[in-house]
């Protein structure tokens, strides 16, 4: 094995062209095997093996600095920079993260997981180099859909002005997560079609020097191109045409499905995938039906159709009533807002983590204009994900902006009632936090009129202790109630607040009569979240308040169970805290 | 007067070319007089009078829809759409806002004040028109620096894909607020230099049809161009070259200074402007001195140098150690973060309101990577500003993100100590909320070691009531303390927390011994802010907590005094609330 000899990038330098090619073919099955075993980004990594080898062959990391955009394509980079054991030995599959991680290696400069940041970050590194009077290349690798994000453009616009070395490798695999959208991708196509020779050239129009590599999976050609631009003294783009999923037939064919896969995907037969009802399926069934009735209903999504179950069939059926804006979350909010303002029914589907890119658009373009969109927030909650992909911040993000209504359903029936109400109303910008996990049915139709804002629902009336359990944590609240009954003989009150963005002051006031302690449970960050508002409300009273939720931190792949333990999000721990509070010991 | 006959845009249609020109010259002095009287955007409005007349002459608003980017250039539009009384009669100068406002007129579609949103919003309107099967033109007017914002690019990229009518008028006045930066502006220059004929064309590269108007202040030429594109069936850019400040000599010459002016600026003689020490002057004096000592210190600013007192002289002196990234706040954060990560000392200056554009960059590019930048946040606080320019949200925005340290100095000495500490340290991303208002000197040197995070300072030790008064509101806290002593004979404790992002749990715990009530005062939104964390901390104790700060709303030009009354941010009202709490009446 060639790979046996490669312990750091220097070991590449002495390899023959033939051995470099062999190395690529040794790395490919390692990636396929590992990704199939534990899940991960298949297509992006298979497409960029050759380019990564060529980069490390030509440039000298870490003196030359690589910035991987979104960084989910860094597997080969990890293999070449002393971390191959995380790929060769299945026991080490979890040893390294799936993203660049400075704590793992000096070859990783930033912790990155959201898209479109690499050019800005690289521009900073280049400027720092210049201020310090140092030498070296700064190389950003961007592509795979990230180009359309606003931050990427701001970066390109400023990098073009740098006046010194910065090399931006545009990895053009003709795809975003799904197919690409937008004018820029048409220009990339024109450039591919003309082998880089078209007069209209987005990058050149911004002032970049420009090189095109047709065979972006050919190490020799890549080395040739990279050698040309190495130590170049001005901003330069190298546009390389790669094949997403290269070397794995099914990934080459089904580029979208094999962008990121679940463990064991390659072992499954297609017919095994059976349809079960989940929050995605009931959402999309409703949306399609509604779209038939109302031709102004439009579903908008920033490049993550898979998250929402917007299959190619669904998208096709929806036709012009579906817009994938590409990786462009800011635009997605403004676009949805304008549609709603003009009387269309816009439904925006977005992942909690990526919604973070839109604070100002939520505030200015949407909330200030009170456009009645329906925003569906997916995956919101505490999780064992990478620090780059946490979905714990959406409640502080959304709920402190005026005019927005953020709803937290606890079951299918509530969710569908909220969704249909939201789509049909014209008063409020509404966000709905779709519960995580399996679909729960209460079996009871929800007749709530949600236009009466901020009405909490008493699920079970008790006394002494009130449990306000938000959204996904309603079932936790229920188990706490049961635990209190069983262990302490207390019949607690259980409340389903439904509304994240406002308090039911009358209900809270009434609790003072026969309750001593209120606890709040939320599946997200405590700081700036839901529970603190309850604590503030009761600040001038004798009511004790205990808030349960996530701590302000970036946990990185910490198992969920461990986080629940850490945050006291288990019924026994909660009951213990309540007991301590009742008997005035220090707690939480 | 021609203007006497103009009550709505229809009245324009019958005017001769000569009368249209006269109209422009009638409008010009009205704008100059009003802006000089009450302050406002001078240069942008003077530059766009002719284009606005031509737009209303050719298109039929509100059936055809205008979206004004940033919308501070909408004065002529307001004059032509039934609101001229706000300009002709000084008594009505405050009748209309300086931005588009749907509550004022059906010709204003969105409430807009932040930049770079128009193309996305227009794309939404165009799509809505198409879904509804309606006709009509959708026109976005963007320029004056807004093009470089990421949201604008996301909009352009998607608008290009629309496949139907959208007309984007690019108002190219060769300026941002200050001079323009970035590759795109060089392309605009190339296009101007070639009268729109250059092969490298940013807009065409994205797929837009493109028209160039050299004389962008010539109504006849503009009408000719707009007539060409009216009812066009595909995405089109009309690039017009205008003169910022046109018709007012001093504004044409001093484009940056006359972008936005204070009342009475035209009446003042330059020598009257005397230099007084303020937070800007001490900041910039320190930064320049430090930059001389340390060549890696760099000051970064997204296109608002005037806010920070970064005068042309200062910028020139700083040379390569100053970067104006243009309107590109996202890039600014990532760029600053990378510089700091690589060992440079990056100091980023940004207005509270515009910082809103960067939540995800603060979280991912900065905090997650723990890059030790110094971020100076300007104008944070409750104000009587337009709803689009409120600076009340930065505490909830910043302080719920892990790893960030957000500091609130109360005086010059603390501020300078925090600033010097932050610039010299390498551990934390630090933000400092520069106090608003006049410079306050405590006269006492600050010897605090700020690397010991979250240590609150007891300013005055008392009992029963503790006042935790943050940053700008420290003086309010002091006056409450005095009022309590005088009116109620209570010697309250006064605490200067200094840290917004963490609690001094030991100090708070100790207060329990001899205090019954803690009040918090913060110059910003209560929701998700500082005080709620204190309420949560004391939730399980007998301590009463009263939080004072801004309410979750978008007040629109509400006088500060009225807001203070509304929010109980006056010493008498606070003491009354404390009294009610002590005697257990309901309060706040």
Task: Tell me the residues of chain A between 265 and 294 that have a Cβ less than 8 Å away from chain B.
Answer: none
Looking at chain B, which residue has its C-alpha nearest residue A577? B540
Q: What is the C-alpha to C-alpha distance for residues B521 and B569, in angstroms, rounded to an integer? A: 8
Nearest-CB residue to B331 (from A120, A148, A205) = A120
With 90 as the cut, is the pLDDT of residue B276 above it? no
Q: Judge contact between A229 and A279, C-beta under 8 A.
A: no
For B94, other C-beta atoms within 10 Å of its C-beta total 11
Q: What is the C-alpha to C-alpha distance for residues B522 and B519, in angstroms, rounded to an integer? A: 10
- Residue A295, both tokens: 């031709």
Residue-wise over B436-462: b if at least 16 C-beta within 10 A, else e?
Answer: beeebeeeeebeeebeeebebbebeeb
Could you report the per-residue pLDDT of B423-460, keeping only the tens digit for each?
999 999 999 999 998 999 999 999 999 999 999 999 99
Nearest-CB residue to A539 (from B129, B206, B546) = B546
Q: What is the C-alpha to C-alpha distance for residues B253 and B245, in angstroms, rounded to an integer? A: 8
Task: Tell me the residues of chain B between 330 and 389 that have a Cβ less than 8 Å away from chain A.
Answer: 330-331, 334-339, 341-344, 346, 356-361, 363-365, 367-369, 387-388
Nearest-CB residue to A330 (from B130, B154, B295) = B154
Judged by CB atoms closer than 8 Å, whether chains meet at B123 and A200 is answered as no
With 90 as the cut, is the pLDDT of residue B585 above it? no
Could you report the per-residue pLDDT of A27-64, keeping only the tens digit for each?
999 999 999 999 999 999 999 999 999 999 999 999 99
Average pLDDT over residues A203-219: 97
Average pLDDT over residues B170-184: 79
Judged by CB atoms closer than 8 Å, whether chains meet at A150 and B153 is answered as yes
Q: For residue B191, which of B220, B176, B170 has the smallest C-alpha distance?
A: B170
- In this prediction, residue B174 carries a pLDDT of 83
- Residue B331, both tokens: 């890039």
With 70 as the cut, is the pLDDT of residue B273 above it? no
Share of chain B above pLDDT 70, in %: 97
The length of chain A, given as a count of residues? 588
In angstroms, the separation between the Cα of residue A187 and the nearest Cα of chain B is 6
Could you report the per-residue pLDDT of A461-476, keeping only the tens digit for each?
999 999 999 999 999 9
- Residue B26, both tokens: 């009638």
Phi and psi at residue B358, to the nearest 5°: -125, 20
Residues of A whose CB is below 8 A from B205:
183, 187, 200-202, 205
- In this prediction, residue B145 carries a pLDDT of 84
B272, burial (CB in 10 Å: exposed 0-12, middle 13-18, buried 19+)? exposed
Residues 6+ apart with CB under 8 A from A138: A64, A65, A67, A122, A125, A126, A129, A165, A166, A167
Average pLDDT over residues B176-196: 85
Q: What is the C-alpha to C-alpha distance for residues B40 and B34, in angstroms, rounded to an integer? A: 8
Judged by CB atoms closer than 8 Å, whether chains meet at A184 and B206 is answered as yes
- In this prediction, residue A272 carries a pLDDT of 47
Question: What ranges make up the beta strands (E) of A386-508?
Answer: 405-407, 430-433, 457-460, 464-469, 493-496
Task: Tell me the residues of chain A between 2 and 61 that have a Cβ less than 8 Å away from chain B.
Answer: none
Q: For residue A249, which of A258, A240, A238, A262 has the smallest C-alpha distance?
A: A258
Residue B274 banded pLDDT, cuts 50, 70, 90: low
In angstroms, the separation between the Cα of residue B69 and the nearest Cα of chain A is 11
Alpha carbon of residue A449 to chain centroid: 32
In angstroms, the separation between the Cα of residue A80 and the nearest Cα of chain B is 23
- In this prediction, residue A289 carries a pLDDT of 98
Q: Is B139 on the interface with A (CB under 8 A)?
A: no
Q: Is B155 on the interface with A (CB under 8 A)?
A: yes
Residues 6+ apart with CB under 8 A from B516: B464, B465, B542, B543, B544, B582
Q: How many CB pairs (< 8 A) connect A and B?
A: 407
Residues 6+ apart with CB under 8 A from B374: B345, B346, B347, B348, B419, B422, B423, B430, B431, B432
Dihedral angle over CA of B537, B541, B543, B544, nearest 10: 80
- Residue B229, both tokens: 């594109």
Q: Is B525 on the interface with A (CB under 8 A)?
A: yes
> Rounded mean pLDDT of chain B?
95
Residue from B99, B148, B153, B537 to probe the interface with A (highest A Cβ count within 10 Å): B153
Q: Judge contact between B522 and B530, C-beta under 8 A.
A: yes
Q: Is A520 on the interface with B (CB under 8 A)?
A: no
Q: Is A579 on the interface with B (CB under 8 A)?
A: no
Number of H helices, E strands in chain B: 24, 18
Residue A177 banded pLDDT, cuts 50, 70, 90: low
Average pLDDT over residues B230-253: 96
Residue B268 banded pLDDT, cuts 50, 70, 90: confident
In angstroms, the separation between the Cα of residue A84 and the nearest Cα of chain B is 24
Q: For residue A373, which of B121, B234, B107 has the smallest C-alpha distance?
A: B121
- Residue A116, both tokens: 């479109």
Task: Tell me the residues of chain B between 526 and 545 that have a Cβ less than 8 Å away from chain A.
Answer: 526-529, 531-533, 535-536, 538-542, 544-545
Residue A256 banded pLDDT, cuts 50, 70, 90: confident
Q: Judge contact between A314 and A364, C-beta under 8 A.
A: no
Residues of B whose CB is below 8 A from A549:
none
Nearest-CB residue to A400 (from B200, B527, B588) = B527
Residue B401 banded pLDDT, cuts 50, 70, 90: very high
Q: What is the C-alpha to C-alpha distance for residues A504 and A539, in angstroms, rounded to an integer? A: 16
Q: Is B550 on the interface with A (CB under 8 A)?
A: no
Annotate A539-556 with three-state secondary structure: CCCCCEEEEEEECCCCCC
Q: What is the C-alpha to C-alpha distance for residues B141 and B152, in angstroms, rounded to an integer? A: 12
- In this prediction, residue A587 carries a pLDDT of 41
- In this prediction, residue A275 carries a pLDDT of 62
Nearest-CB residue to A183 (from B131, B160, B528) = B160
> Rounded mean pLDDT of chain A?
95
Task: Tell me the residues of chain A between 395 and 414 that have a Cβ less than 8 Å away from chain B.
Answer: 396-397, 399-403
Q: Is A102 on the interface with B (CB under 8 A)?
A: yes
For A109, other C-beta atoms within 10 Å of its C-beta total 23
Could you report the per-residue pLDDT of A66-114, keeping only the tens digit for each?
999 999 999 999 999 999 999 999 999 999 999 999 999 999 999 999 9
Q: Name the helix (H) or strand (E) containing A582.
A: helix A571-582
Q: What is the C-alpha to C-alpha distance for residues B313 and B311, in angstroms, rounded to an integer? A: 5
With 90 as the cut, is the pLDDT of residue A142 above it? yes
Alpha carbon of residue B450 to chain centroid: 29
Judged by CB atoms closer than 8 Å, whether chains meet at A553 and B359 is answered as no
Looking at chain B, which residue has its C-alpha nearest residue A128? B339
- In this prediction, residue B277 carries a pLDDT of 86
With 60 as the cut, is the pLDDT of residue B588 above it? no
- In this prediction, residue A274 carries a pLDDT of 55
Q: Is A101 on the interface with B (CB under 8 A)?
A: no
- In this prediction, residue B583 carries a pLDDT of 83
Q: What is the C-alpha to C-alpha distance for residues A381 and A522, in angstroms, rounded to an integer? A: 8
Residue from B101, B110, B114, B124 to probe the interface with A (highest A Cβ count within 10 Å): B124
Q: Is B520 on the interface with A (CB under 8 A)?
A: no
Task: Tell me the residues of chain B between 110 and 129 that have a Cβ less than 8 Å away from chain A.
Answer: 110-114, 117, 120-125, 127-129
Average pLDDT over residues A355-368: 96
Q: Is B126 helix (H, G, I), strand (E, B) or coil?
A: helix
In angstroms, the separation between the Cα of residue B127 and the nearest Cα of chain A is 7
With 80 as the cut, is the pLDDT of residue A586 above it? no
Nearest-CB residue to A181 (from B161, B361, B538) = B161
Judged by CB atoms closer than 8 Å, whether chains meet at A154 and B123 is answered as no
Judged by CB atoms closer than 8 Å, whether chains meet at B154 and A588 is answered as no
Nearest-CB residue to A544 (from B387, B539, B554) = B539
Q: Is A15 helix (H, G, I), strand (E, B) or coil?
A: coil
Alpha carbon of residue B4 to chain centroid: 35
Q: Is B454 on the interface with A (CB under 8 A)?
A: no
Q: Name the helix (H) or strand (E) containing B65.
A: strand B65-68
The length of chain B, given as a count of residues? 588
Alpha helices by DSSP H, listed for A79-134, are 85-88, 118-131
Handedness of CA B521, B527, B533, B536 (dihedral sign): positive
Looking at chain A, which residue has its C-alpha nearest residue B114? A364
- Residue B14, both tokens: 């019958």
Judged by CB atoms closer than 8 Å, whether chains meet at A120 and B335 is answered as yes
Dihedral angle over CA of B508, B509, B515, B516, nearest 10: 90
Judged by CB atoms closer than 8 Å, whether chains meet at A331 and B296 is answered as no
Q: Is B472 helix (H, G, I), strand (E, B) or coil?
A: helix
Q: Judge contact between A380 and A397, C-beta under 8 A.
A: no
Q: Is A479 on the interface with B (CB under 8 A)?
A: no
Residues of A whose CB is below 8 A from B539:
535, 538, 544-547
Residues of A whose CB is below 8 A from B544:
539-541
């Amino acid at each position: 094995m060639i790979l046996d000899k490669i312990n750091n990038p220097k070991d590449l330098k002495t390899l023959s062209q033939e051995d470099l090619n062999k190395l690529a073919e040794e790395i490919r099955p390692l990636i396929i095997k590992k990704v199939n075993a534990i899940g991960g980004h298949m297509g992006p990594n298979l497409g960029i093996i050759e380019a990564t080898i060529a980069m490390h062959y030509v440039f000298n990391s870490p003196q030359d600095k690589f910035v991987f955009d979104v960084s989910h394509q860094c597997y080969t980079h990890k293999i070449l920079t002393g971390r191959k054991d995380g790929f060769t030995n299945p026991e080490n599959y979890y040893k390294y993260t799936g993203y660049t991680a400075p704590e793992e290696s000096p070859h990783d400069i930033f912790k990155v997981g959201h898209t479109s940041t690499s050019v800005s970050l690289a521009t900073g590194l280049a400027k720092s180099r210049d201020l310090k009077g140092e030498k070296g290349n700064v190389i950003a690798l961007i592509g795979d859909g990230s180009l359309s994000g606003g931050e990427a453009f701001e970066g390109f616009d400023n990098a073009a002005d740098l006046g010194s070395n910065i090399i931006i490798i545009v990895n053009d695999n003709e795809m975003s997560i799904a197919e690409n959208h937008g004018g820029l991708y048409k220009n990339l196509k024109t450039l591919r079609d003309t082998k880089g020779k078209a007069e209209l050239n987005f990058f050149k129009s911004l002032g970049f020097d420009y090189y095109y590599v047709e065979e972006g999976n050919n190490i020799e050609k890549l080395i040739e191109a990279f050698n040309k631009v190495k130590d170049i003294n001005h901003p330069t783009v190298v546009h390389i045409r790669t094949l997403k999923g290269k070397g794995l037939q099914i990934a080459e064919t089904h580029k979208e499905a094999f962008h990121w896969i679940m463990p064991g995907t390659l072992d499954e037969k297609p017919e095994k995938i059976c349809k079960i009802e989940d929050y995605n399926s009931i959402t999309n069934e409703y949306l399609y039906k509604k779209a038939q009735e109302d031709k102004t209903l439009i579903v908008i999504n920033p490049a993550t159709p898979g998250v929402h179950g917007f299959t190619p069939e669904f998208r096709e059926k929806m036709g012009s009533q579906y817009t994938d804006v590409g990786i462009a979350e800011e635009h997605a909010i403004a676009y949805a807002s304008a549609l709603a303002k003009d009387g269309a029914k816009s439904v925006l589907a977005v992942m909690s983590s990526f919604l973070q890119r839109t604070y100002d658009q939520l505030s200015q373009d949407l909330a200030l204009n009170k456009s009645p969109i329906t925003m569906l927030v997916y995956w919101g909650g505490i999780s064992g994900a990478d620090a780059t992909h946490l979905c714990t911040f959406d409640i502080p993000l959304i709920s402190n902006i005026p005019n927005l209504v953020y709803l937290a359903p606890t079951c299918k029936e509530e969710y569908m009632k909220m969704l249909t109400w939201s789509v049909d109303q014209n008063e409020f910008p509404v966000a709905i936090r779709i519960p995580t996990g399996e679909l729960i049915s209460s079996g009871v139709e929800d007749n709530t009129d949600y236009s009466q804002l901020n009405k909490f629902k008493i699920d079970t009336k008790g006394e002494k202790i009130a449990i306000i359990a938000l959204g996904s944590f309603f079932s936790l609240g229920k188990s706490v109630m049961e635990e209190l009954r069983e262990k302490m003989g207390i019949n607690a009150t259980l409340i389903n607040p439904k509304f994240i963005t406002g308090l039911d002051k009358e209900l809270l006031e009434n609790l003072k009569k026969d309750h001593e302690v209120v606890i709040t449970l939320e599946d997200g960050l405590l700081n700036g979240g839901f529970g603190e508002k309850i604590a503030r409300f009761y600040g001038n009273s004798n009511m004790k308040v205990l808030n349960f939720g996530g701590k302000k931190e970036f946990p990185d792949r910490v198992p969920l169970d461990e986080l629940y333990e850490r945050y006291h999000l288990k019924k026994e721990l909660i009951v213990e805290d309540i007991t301590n509070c009742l008997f005035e010991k220090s707690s939480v």
